[in-house]
Amino acid sequence: MKYPIRVSSFFFPFPCSATSLSRGSPSVLRHWKEDVAKADVFATDFRVLTPLVGVLKLGSLESRIAAAWVVEAMAAVSAEAKPQIAEVEGMLTELLRLVADGEGEKPTEPRAIVAGLAALAALSSLRRVRLRIVALGAVPALARLLAWPSSPLAVVESALQLMEAASTCTKGRAAICADPPR
């Protein structure tokens, strides 16, 4: 059964500080993602986005993964929500951090990478978001993921999708052509 929802109702009778959400169960965030995905109407109160950034910043790995899937579902349900989601301070940075926490060594957990890439890909349909993702250093991080010999297929496909999105802007092409840091 599909039904209209207000995403803010997911957060606000519950404690909505980033710390309390990051200590909470990741299964709660998974249920929110499922409810968002079922919605016909996305009547959102964008106050929910700041606590999601808090979860992405301070949460356990499971909570961070679940929060990234919630962001991806919110972006997939409503094209109008994408600019608001991307403009929240720290959102793109934290999603990219979920993808590229490895900093040159072994990449982070593949499930985290796939969740972060899915959320970034959902938001990257907007040109200004692609420009910000490139400016944040996504291209070198994606190149490291693609160069890693044991990257799962889902990671490679998602990284290539984002690399393709980056190639649609001049700065993205320049970053792709630049010599990788040694």
Other CB atoms within 10 Å distance of the CB of residue 153: 8
- Per CATH, is 8-177 categorized as 2.60.40.650? no
pLDDT level of residue 28 (50, 70, 90 thresholds) = low
Question: pLDDT digits over 73-83, tens only?
Answer: 988 887 888 99
| Alpha carbon distance, N-terminus to C-terminus of the chain | 53
Question: pLDDT digits over 60-119, tens only?
Answer: 999 999 999 999 998 888 788 899 999 999 999 999 999 987 554 455 788 999 999 999
What pTM value is reported for the model?
0.75
3-state secondary structure 88-146: CCCHHHHHHHHHCCCCCCCCCCHHHHHHHHHHHHHHCCCHHHHHHHHHCCHHHHHHHHH
Q: CA nearest 98: which of 132, 127, 76, 69? A: 69
